[in-house]
Amino acid sequence: MTEMVYGTMPARAGDPILPRWWRTIDKWALSCVLMLFGVGLLLGLASSPPLAARNGFEPFHYVQRQAFFGGVALVAMIITTMMSPTMVRRLAVLGFAVSFVAMMGLPFAGTDFGKGAVRWYSLGFASLQPSEFLKPGFVVAAAWMISASQHLGGPPGKSLSFALTIAIVLMLALQPDFGQACLILFAWGVMYFVAGAPIVLLLGLAGAVAFAGTIAYSNSEHFARRIDGFLSPDLDPTTQLGYATNAIQQGGFFGVGVGEGQVKQSLPDAHTDFIIAVAAEEYGLLLVLFIIALYGTIVVRSLIRLMRERDPFIRLAGTGLACTFGVQAMVNMGVAVRLLPAKGMTLPFVSYGGSSLIAGGIAVGMLLAFTRTRPQGEIRDILLTRGAS
């Protein structure tokens, strides 16, 4: 609790790993992650029993699986937070390479589980979604390339990272998974902006994305159907968006009561993409605001700590991870309240899903590793020194 009041204590040379980790980790952000996981289990208890009954499983089948995958995610997160930035970078680049190859194999060995998009490998006892693991690895790899390009005689990292981004976006669009494609493009854009990209280039990129969206709308029935449903002034109450909107309206400020919600009886994705509708219906606006506050705390505290970081690679990678984490949460909740078209994107640490939970744990572990306090001067010291010279 000392750090929460007085700030993080610096590490001392020769300290054992665990005491050093505890003194340098962002305890507020770590606490928020643990609370999100707890909220996910609570909402899983509320949302998944009807689906388990329809599929012939025990009532708490999905809750038990979520607890298992969540436990694996938390272990992976804690282990990752103890790594040095160099070790995180090496493992992230390796994980990115494996995930990239796995994504290339989806058209040949992947499955869509009847959802119209080939995004998963079926393992029998579970499924694997490579794009979830690719995101954190891509962010770190792209940050490494961009930061390397800032060195004298460095490689053309910005161009290489952009080419890699386009290749990944095209693969995701062919699945199709336009939500993850936009998230990858957003992550690269944020890091490029922090690295000093000219605003004209970013505006041109935004225009290219709008043009690509127009082409996708004209040639992809999957994409067009979701856009038409979002733009339609009349909302079909028998669709997932219709059920979710009605549930949020019924919940009001305090909710209808624990176990009294009805949306979980109708929504096939009540425990995944539309978990926030269950929270709003049964627990009301209060729980939704609490969830938003947890995500906001993690993102804002991470960005504040990264502002003091001197290493450009750590600043870029940490910013990309923090913004991607926050935007994914925002998109999921935005879809549920019909502010955004349906994307098929999970709510980090809250939605059910093995790939999402474990990959999310690794991503947040990387972020917490990058934001740990390290013995170094403030970045403003460098700027003041340069100004004096």
The amino acid at 187: A
Buried b (16+ CB within 10 A) or exposed e, 196-220: ebeeeeeeebeeebeebeeebeeeb
Contact 106, 177 (CB under 8 A): no
Residues 6+ apart with CB under 8 A from 378: 308, 310
Instruction: Report long-range pairs for 115-123 (Cβ below 8 Å, ≥24 apart).
Output: 115/344, 116/222, 117/175, 117/176, 117/177, 117/222, 117/344, 118/175, 119/175, 119/177, 120/355
Tell whether the torsion through CA atoms of 333, 363, 269 and 209 is positive or negative: positive
> What's the confidence (pLDDT) of residue 189?
92
Encoded tokens for 117 = 């998009």
CA angle 264, 177, 115 (to 5 degrees): 45
Quick one: which of 346, 353, 348, 291 has its CA closest to 321? 348
- Measured distance CA(87)–CA(343) in Å, rounded: 33
Instruction: Fill in the DSSP letter of residue 9.
Output: P
> What's the confidence (pLDDT) of residue 2?
40
> What's the confidence (pLDDT) of residue 18?
84
- What are the residue ranges spanned by the domains of the chain? 26-371
Encoded tokens for 253 = 């400020």
> What's the confidence (pLDDT) of residue 351?
92
> What's the confidence (pLDDT) of residue 314?
96
- Measured distance CA(387)–CA(378) in Å, rounded: 15
> What's the confidence (pLDDT) of residue 299?
97
CA angle 224, 225, 230 (to 5 degrees): 95
CA angle 5, 39, 30 (to 5 degrees): 35
Quick one: which of 34, 77, 66 has its CA closest to 275? 66
> What's the confidence (pLDDT) of residue 7?
44
Per-10-residue mean pLDDT of the chain, 389 residues long, equals: 43 70 93 96 88 85 92 96 95 96 91 80 85 95 93 86 93 86 92 86 82 79 74 71 83 84 78 88 93 97 93 96 96 87 85 92 97 68 51
For 128, phi then psi, to 5°, come to: -130, 125
The alpha carbon of residue 288 and the mean position of all alpha carbons in its chain are separated, in whole angstroms, by: 18
